[in-house]
Amino acid sequence: MTKITCPICADGSVRHFAKANDVEYFTSGRLFDFYRCDSCDILFIYPMLSDRLNEIYPSNYYSFHANAADTLALRFKKRLDDRAFQAITKQLNGERLSALDVGGGIGWLLDGLKRADSRIADTTVVDIDAGAADVARAKGHNFHLTPIEGFETEKTFDLILMLNLIEHVPDPIQILKKAKSLLSPGGLIWIKTPNYDSLDARIFRYRSWGGYHTPRHFVLFTKPSFIRHCESAGLHVLNCSYTQGAPFWTVSAINELKRVGLAEVSAARPSLQNSLTPFFHLLFAAFDFVRMPFSKTSQMNCILTAQSSTSETSSATPISRAKLGSSRISGGA
């Protein structure tokens, strides 16, 4: 019998947490197991299908077609994103800034950055979606078709985006160290990642919680465990706050409706395309925004910088959590 160990700390002190299947894209009919590591407080899926990415990321996967429709939810999301972009870029010094979006698809987040700050002059996408390359390049972004682990360049970047990315890789610490190596002096890394210690995670723990994003989310954190692992990778956390997790609530709710025959979801028409999705996104975003000041939500916004050689503090000004309240209302997985 295979002994299951933590993919980060290699400790064998793991406990079975839940079973879940793909309730969004139906890429697999099997149930996957999630385990919690008692030593480093992460949640991980078993098995990790890191060698079958073409199977678990179908051609209609949401990030391959970001912002394809103009809805009230997306317009609201755009306004929130713009606020967050401005809050972050004003922390950066320099007349000409560079930005890297890891897993950035067609570069729509980089479009927003350039819209928010005219100093963003050099933009790069690293992604595994070949279909995004031509669109991203046509919009003026450099595009590299490779996982971030294989990305080689002499350049460094003032801002690195890894929004809803770190949970998709089998070795998050390696990715954090890679990002640090690509960071310019005084640069920032912006990470958004799920928090499995949240209300919706508890409610839907045994019912294929949307935050599992089975089988595409490999490793999930809590806020304390994420901060610890960032520090172990040589990064200093300037700010880490909770933000709305409407996409996870929405997937969970639509899955419950599907169970009782009140919603249709299939591989051809995943939950994101359900007619109820925009309504649920707005409803649960509002719910999370109301409770954010006093409750843990299922998404975290974190701003990092490289640790100083002399201390673990940075001269950068901490960014207020109010200004980081932005979230990808569409998707967020």
In a domain, 104, yes or no: yes
Which has more pLDDT, 23 or 323?
23
pTM: 0.89
Distance CA 37, CA 42 (A): 5
Domain interval for residue 260: 70-212+219-306
* 300 lies in some domain: yes
Give the count of domains, the chain.
1
43 in a structural domain: no
What is the phi/psi pair of residue 184, to 5°?
-70, 155
pLDDT in tens, 281-290: 999 999 999 9
Is the pLDDT score of 271 beyond 70?
A: yes
Give residue-wise pLDDT tens across range 128-160: 889 899 999 999 999 999 999 999 999 999 999
Rounded distance, CA 178 to CA 103, Å?
14
Is residue 18 in a domain?
Answer: no
Residue 242 has pLDDT above 70, yes or no: yes
Residue 144 lies in a domain: yes
Q: What is the pLDDT of residues 39-98, one digit of tens each?
A: 999 999 999 999 999 899 998 887 766 555 556 666 766 777 788 898 999 999 999 999
pLDDT > 90: what percent of the chain? 78
Q: Given a cut of 60, is residue 310 above it in pLDDT?
A: no
3-state DSSP of 98-121: EEEEECCCCCHHHHHHHHHCCCEE
* pLDDT at site 73: 60
- Position 312 scores a pLDDT of 41
pLDDT of residue 316: 47
On the question of pLDDT at 37 being above 90, the answer is yes
Q: Examine residue 312 and state whether it is found in any structural domain, yes or no.
A: no
Confidence (pLDDT) at 259: 96
Q: Is 262 helix (H, G, I), strand (E, B) or coil?
A: coil
How confident is the model at residue 319, as a pLDDT?
Answer: 47
Strand-pairing partners, residue 34, are 18, 45
Q: Rounded to 10 degrees, what is the CA torsion of 312, 318, 322, 323?
A: -120
Statement: residue 229 has pLDDT above 80 = yes
Torsion angle of the four alpha carbons 208, 213, 215, 218, in this order, in degrees rounded to the nearest 10: -110
Q: Mean pLDDT across the chain, nearest whole number?
A: 90
Average pLDDT over residues 221-237: 98
Q: Is residue 77 part of a domain?
A: yes
For 41-75, the three-class secondary structure string (H helix, E strand, C coil) is CCEEEECCCCCCHHHHCCCCCHHHHCCCCCCHHHH
97 is a domain residue: yes
* pLDDT of 327 higher than 60: no
- Name, in order, each residue with C-beta under 8 angstroms of 98's C-beta and a sequence gap of 6 or more: 120, 121, 122, 123, 124, 155, 156, 157, 158, 159, 184
CATH code for position 99: 3.40.50.150
